[in-house]
Amino acid sequence: MHKIISFVLAESSKPKKGEALTISAIKSAPHYFEASVPVQSILKETKDELNGKEVDVKIKFYQPDVLLVEAEIDIEDVFANGTLDIKAKLLDICYKYVKKNGGNEELSEEYAIYVVSKYEGDPEQFLIHSNKIAGLLKSEKLSLAEQEIQHTLSFQLKYEKGDLTIIDWDGAFIFDRDGAEIGEDLELCELANYQLLKHRILDRDLDERSQKIVKLIKKEQPKSLILGAGGVNQAFKEVIDIRSRAIAEFESMDRDIKLIGDWYSARFYDLLHKKLRLHEWHQTIKEKLDSLEDAYSIVSENLGFSHTQQLERLQIRLWFILQAGWLVLIVLEFLAFFKD
């Protein structure tokens, strides 16, 4: 039995309500695993069609701003020619429902899972299709070099004797001899892609806010002391708030999942984490946040110094005005004296 599950996660501008989903772990996992990850809500289940075959479509949501669409289809042979075309069409179906439900297609992540089940013997028997497996995982129709194939197959995980999972950037292969539910593996793949999308969303927001701050600094620098720099301060306060929320969201989830130790879920997620380069994204965002904080300190000091200069200049002007006033009074007194 073979099937393909494609899914797309996309930014959504509006929160959506749905029934919270609970995934039952088939393999061992600690009691706190479910509390460690964002909860999916199911919005709708429907049917579509591809090449005369039925496609199961599920529309889900991660609060408060990520839409998730899954499309699943049974196929005769995942190793046959044309599998990549089927995957691409499944993704087209996903994007169709993303658009219908108000998702942002430009800021999205896509992934595909190839499932092979109900077979006799060990899953290693399918490694005779190693070139095909690597090509599907990389969405590549060209024949790959042996070194690239072996590198791709090296990111694998075995838990039971009869199963095998191979993970890559664009997809995963799951060999499950018993054909048991793969909901746990699917959710972990979605979770890792969810984190990747959230990093991309935050990265975009930081770039936009950086540009906004530059414009505000240029706009407010020529202003007088009375007008101040409220816009700049407010913009930096928003950045600091983003930093706090980002740290709370990303680091708490990473910490909780790492607490699972070397159990199946943690090992599976660790492979996904490496393949999607989430650590590099996290480091990039941290550097941007640190740079913005440094910029805030520099701007605050410069604005404070500028304000001090303005006060000194204002004080000098007032002193000259005061002296001129005294001079006028003295002249008037002299004139009045001689007139008398």
Residue spans of the domains in the chain: they are 2-181, 190-313
Residues 75-111: pLDDT tens digits? 999 999 999 999 999 999 999 999 999 999 999 999 9
Spatial neighbors of 332 by CB under 8 A, at least 6 apart, are none
Which pLDDT belongs to residue 216? 65
Residue for token pair 């009074």: 329
Instruction: Dig out the tokens for 108 from the structure.
Output: 């999205």
Burial level of 125, CB count in 10 A (0-12/13-18/19+)?
exposed
* Per-residue pLDDT at 322 exceeds 80: no
**Could you tell me the pLDDT band of residue 47, with boundaries at 50, 70 and 90?**
very high
Which pLDDT belongs to residue 135? 95
* Range 117-129 average pLDDT: 93
* Range 130-139 average pLDDT: 95
Residue type, 42: I
What is this structure's pTM? 0.79
What is the C-alpha separation between 206 and 285, in angstroms, rounded?
8
Which pLDDT belongs to residue 224? 41
Q: Which residues of 157-166 are buried (b: 16+ CB within 10 A; e: fewer)?
A: beeeebbbbb
Spatial neighbors of 217 by CB under 8 A, at least 6 apart, are 232, 299
Spatial neighbors of 13 by CB under 8 A, at least 6 apart, are 65, 102, 104
What is the distance of C-alpha 140 from the center of its chain? 25
Mean of per-residue pLDDT scores for the chain: 81
* Per-residue pLDDT at 305 exceeds 50: no
Spatial neighbors of 2 by CB under 8 A, at least 6 apart, are 74, 75, 76, 77, 78, 114, 115, 116, 117
Q: What percent of the chain has pLDDT over 90?
A: 42
Task: Look at residues 244, 242, 233 and name the one whose alpha carbon lies nearest to residue 208.
Answer: 242
Three-class DSSP labels, the chain: CEEEEEEEEEEECCCCCCEECCCCCCCCCCCCHHHHCCCEEEEEEEEEEECCEEEEEEEEEECCCEEEEEEEEEECCCCCCCHHHHHHHHHHHHHHHHHHCCEEEEEEEEEEEEEEECCCCCHHHHHHHHHHHHHHHCCCCCCCCHHHHHHHHCCEECCCCCEEEEECCCEEEEEECCCCCCHHHHHHHHHHHHHHHHHHHHHHHHHHHHHHHHHHHHHHCCCCCCCCCHHHHHHHHHHHHHHHHHHHHHHHHHHHHHCCCCCHHHHHHHHHHHHCCHHHHHHHHHHHHHHHHHHHHHHHHHHHHHHHHHHHHHHHHHHHHHHHHHHHHHHHHHHHHHHC
**Could you tell me the pLDDT band of residue 315, with boundaries at 50, 70 and 90?**
low
C-alpha torsion sign, points 103, 106, 108, 109: positive
